Amino acid sequence: KGLQKNHSSGILIFFNLYLNRWSMSKIIENYKRILIQIERYNKEFLATSKNPKLIAVSKTFSEDKIQLIIDQGQRIFGENKVQEATKKWVVLKKRNKKIELHLIGPLQSNKVKEALEIFDVIQTVDREKIVKKIKDNLDNKEIKFFVQVNIGGEAQKNGLKITEVEAFVKWCINDMNLRVAGLMCIPPLDRESSYYFNLLSNLKEKLKLEHASMGMSNDFAKAIQFGATYLRVGSAIFGNRS
């Protein structure tokens, strides 16, 4: 009986190794394909494209999978949780130079200090309390900040209402001396994204900010068309998150 058990678990281990190898090669393949697609859309939307940078959204994925595309040359990554990011990226950043890590998930004020230690860009600034906390902990670190806009006015989503953005951004820059580099949004799931990307792009231009972070696996083509400067792509590179 013991022998039989060893035998079947041996097969299982072999099968898992095989599956892992397969998913690893798939990630590299996906990554290369996304880069080609981005190039193609840049050409297709030549008049409006801002040649956006790709943020590889690595939330929930392990360090060995992330390292695969670092080895392919990717340097910009996104995570949505401070704790998970710290656990993975302290070592990954030590091992790989010039990483630019973006926080794209909600920021609690009790996590601000930790977030400022691991992230290079924080995309989810959305209230005064967070800005004050950031100022208290920033020291001389070179961190960029984006203001998150609740572009579809959804009750369950974080971010400022469109009508609040201008005053908030001016307050951040003038009163708080915070470096606001751009705006970020997540459009409503069940709607055509183009309309919302256009709104964010116009708002960003009006406020003379440098960056618009928008577009995910399913709609990054439209984000390129409407002038994104950063795209946030996860599952189209790493596969589905379990």
Ligand X SMILES: *Cc1c(COP(=O)(O)O)cnc(C)c1O
Give whichever of 6 and 72 is closer to ligand X, judged by the CB atom: 72
Rounded to whole angstroms, how far apart are CA atoms 242 and 230? 25
Rounded to whole angstroms, how far apart are CA atoms 168 and 66? 35
Nearest distance in Å: CB 215, ligand X: 8
CA 109 to chain centre: 20
Give whichever of 57 and 212 is closer to ligand X, judged by the CB atom: 57
Give whichever of 70 and 173 is closer to ligand X, judged by the CB atom: 70
217 binds ligand X (CB under 6 A): yes
Q: Choose the stretch contacting ligand X; rule: CB under 6 A; options: 26-34, 113-121, 157-165, 229-237.
A: 229-237
Rounded to whole angstroms, how far apart are CA atoms 88 and 167? 36
Rounded to whole angstroms, how far apart are CA atoms 205 and 1? 71
Give whichever of 74 and 80 is closer to ligand X, judged by the CB atom: 80
Give whichever of 87 and 135 is closer to ligand X, judged by the CB atom: 87
Which residues are CB-neighbours of 35 under 8 A, at least 6 positions away? 54
Nearest distance in Å: CB 217, ligand X: 3
Which residues are CB-neighbours of 142 under 8 A, at least 6 positions away? 120
Identify whether the C-beta of residue 84 lies closer than 8 Å to the C-beta of residue 104: no
- What is the DSSP secondary-structure string of 30-89? HHHHHHHHHHHHHHHTTTT---PEEEEE-TT--HHHHHHHHTTT--EEEES-HHHHHHHH
Q: Choose the stretch contacting ligand X; rule: CB under 6 A; options: 68-76, 137-145, 169-177, 228-236.
A: 228-236
Q: Which of 117, 128, 68, 123 is nearest to 96 (CA)?
A: 68
Angle at 97 between CA 96 and CA 100, to 5 degrees: 100
Residue number with the shortest CB distance to ligand X? 234
Q: Mask of contacts with ligand X, 54-83, x by CB under 6 A? A: ---x-x--------------------x---
**Residue 74 structure tokens:** 């990717």
Give whichever of 169 and 219 is closer to ligand X, judged by the CB atom: 219
# of chain residues touching ligand X (CB under 6 A)? 13
Site for ligand X in 157-186 (CB under 6 A): 186
Site for ligand X in 88-147 (CB under 6 A): 104-105
Report the interface residues with ligand X, using CB under 6 A. 57, 59, 80, 104-105, 186, 216-217, 232-236
